[in-house]
Amino acid sequence: MANLKFYSGEQVPLEMHKVRMVQRLNLLPVEQRKTAMEEAGFNTFLLKNRDVFMDMLTDSGVNAMSENQYAAMLQADDSYAGSETFYRLEKALSDVFGMKYYLPAHQGRACENIISNVFVKPGKTVLTNYHFTTAKAMITLYGGVVEEIVKDEGLKITSSDLFKGDIDMEKLDEAIKRLKEENIAFLRIESGTNLIGGQPVSMKNMKEVTDICKKRGIISVYDASLLADNLYFIKTRDPKYKDMSLEQISHEIAGFFDIIYFSARKLGCARGGGILTSNYDLYYKMRELVPLYEGFITYGGMSVREMEAMAVGLRETMDIDVISQTPIFVEALAHELQKKNVPIVTPPGGLGCHIDAKTFCEHLPQEQYPAGALVAAIYIASGVRLMERGTLSEQRNPDGSEVFAIMELGRMAVPKRVFTLSQIKYAADRVGWLYDNRKLIGGLKFVEEPSVLRFFFGRLESIGGWQDKIAAKFRADFGDSL
C-alpha cells in the first residue's frame, strides 16, 4: 500500500496489488437483515455468511492470499512424517525470526493450549500487557490467573500515545514483588494488542520488560499473531527503526523472548500456527504435546497445503507494501468515521477500527451488553458484520458474577487486501447513520449462555424488540435503497 499524494493534494491509499479472483456478495434488504439477526440470536458469529455483505468479523483466516501462496500450495509434500513442506516452512520461520526450533500447531489457541499445559500450574499467574480471549481461557483452564499490566494510556479510548500496548514498568515491578518470581508462570506480551484496539508494543518496552524477565528468571512469551501490524507501526512510528529492514526488526524482537507463538490465520495469511524457541529445554517440554493434541511434529494438525501457503505468506510479511495495507485502510476508515462523529479508539491501530460502544450507546448499562447490541444494530443497518469485543467476550467469575470489560468495543476488522475503498466508505456511511439514530439501539440479554468462550455461540434476545424500530427508521430514511 502506498500513501500517495494526488494532484489535488488529497492523500489517498493506493493498493499495490490487483484483484484477479472475486467472490460474489449479497446485500439483503433491511427487513431480511433484521430477521437474519434475530435468527442468529443477536450474535454476529451465528450469522450465515451468505447473509453478510461485508464480513468485518475478523481478519483471522480470511485475508486474501497472493498468487505465490496459491502456487506454493500445489507443490505440497503430502507425507505423514518428514514432509519437505515442513522443512520449507521451518526455513521460512528461521529466516523471519532466527529461532532454532519450531513446533507446528493447527492455530493460535492450540499453541496457547500447549504453552499453558506445560507452564501454568494451579494458582500461578500469567502477567500480560493485555489478555486475549483464547489465551485467557487456556490459562484459566489449567488453573492459572491472568493479570494485566498494560500502561494506563492503553485503556483510554482517545490518546495520542503511539504504543498503547506497552507494559507499565511500575506495575510490572510491583507485581513481581507481590507475587514473587516462583508464582509467575510466564510473562506474555501480545503484539498489536487485540482487545484494546489493535495497539502496538514498542521495541523499547519489549526490551526493558524481557531484560527484567531474564534477570528474574521469568519465562517470556511473545504472541506474534498480530506481528505484521506491529512491525509496520514500529517502522513508521519509531524513528530508530525507520531505516531497518522488517527482517532485522523481527530478528531483534525474537532475540528478546524465550518463546514466540502465533496464529497463522493472522500472521502469514494462511491457516495454521506454531511455537518457536531457541531454548532446547523449553522445546523439549512442549514437544511431546504436539503429537498428543495436534498431529505428528512435522505437520501439527495442519494441511501441508496451508503450510506451504504460510511459508510464502511469512516471507511476504517482510514486505512493507504488503503489511501496510491493513493499517492504512484502518486509518482511512477511522477518518471516515470521525468525520461522522462516531467515537472510536485512537490512534487507529492495526487489524481493524474499533468503535467505542460505551459512548455510542451511553444510554445502555453494561449489564445489557452495549457492544453486543451495537454490532447487532450495525448488521441490521448495513449488512456489515463486526465482532463484539466487550463484556460478552469476557468470562464470568467462578461465582457467576459478570466481569465487566474495561473497554466496550465493536471491532470492524479489515482483513488484508479483501475490501475496496468504496466498500470501506459504505460501511462508514451506515455506521454514521446509526450513530445519528443511536437512541433506537436497546440492550440484550442471554437466552443461552455457554460457560466457556460464550461469545462464540451464546444466543441472546433484544430487550423490548428495538430491532423493529431500527429497520423501520432505515426504510423511512433510505426508501428503496438496500
Ligand X SMILES: Cc1ncc(COP(=O)(O)O)c(C=O)c1O
Closer by beta carbon to ligand X, 60 or else 205: 60
Closest CA to 134 of 266, 22, 20: 266
Closer residue to ligand X, CB minimum distance, 54 or 226: 226
The residues, ordered by sequence, that sit 6+ positions from 346 with a Cβ below 8 Å of its Cβ are 157, 158, 159, 160, 334
Residue nearest to ligand X (CB): 108
Strands (E), 86-144: 101-104, 125-128
Q: How far is the CB of 408 from ligand X (least distance, A)?
A: 18
Of the pair 125, 230, the CB lying nearest ligand X is at 230
Cell 521495541 belongs to: 203
Nearer residue to ligand X within complex by CB, 226 or 441: 226
| C-alpha distances in Å from residue 396, one per residue of 129, 150, 460 | 21, 22, 16
Please choose, from the candidates 463, 423, 418, 427, the residue with its C-alpha nearest in 3D space to the C-alpha of residue 442.
463
Output 263 or 298, the one with its CB closest to ligand X: 263
CB of 247 to ligand X, least distance (A): 22
In angstroms, the CA 262 to CA 295 distance is 17
Query: Number of C-alpha atoms within 13 angstroms, CB side, residue 213?
Result: 25
In angstroms, give the least distance from the CB of 340 to ligand X: 28
User: Would you state the cell numbers that stand for residue 274, as one nine-digit string?
Assistant: 506454531
**Least Å from the CB of residue 380 to ligand X:** 25
Helices 246-256 and 227-237: angle between axes, nearest 10 degrees:
110
What is the SS3 assignment for 169?
helix
Burial of 123 (0-12, 13-18, 19+ CB in 10 A): exposed
* Closest to ligand X by CB, 130 or 283: 130
C-beta of 58: minimal distance to ligand X in Å? 6
Binding site for ligand X (CB under 6 A): 60, 107-109, 132, 134, 190, 194, 223, 225-226, 263, 265-266, 273
Give the active site residues. Answer: 80, 132-133, 223, 266, 389, 455
CB of 466 to ligand X, least distance (A): 30
Question: What single string gives the DSSP state of each residue in 258-323?
Answer: SEEEEETTTTTSSS-EEEEES-HHHHHHHHTHIIIII--TTTTT--HHHHHHHHHHHHHTT-HHHH
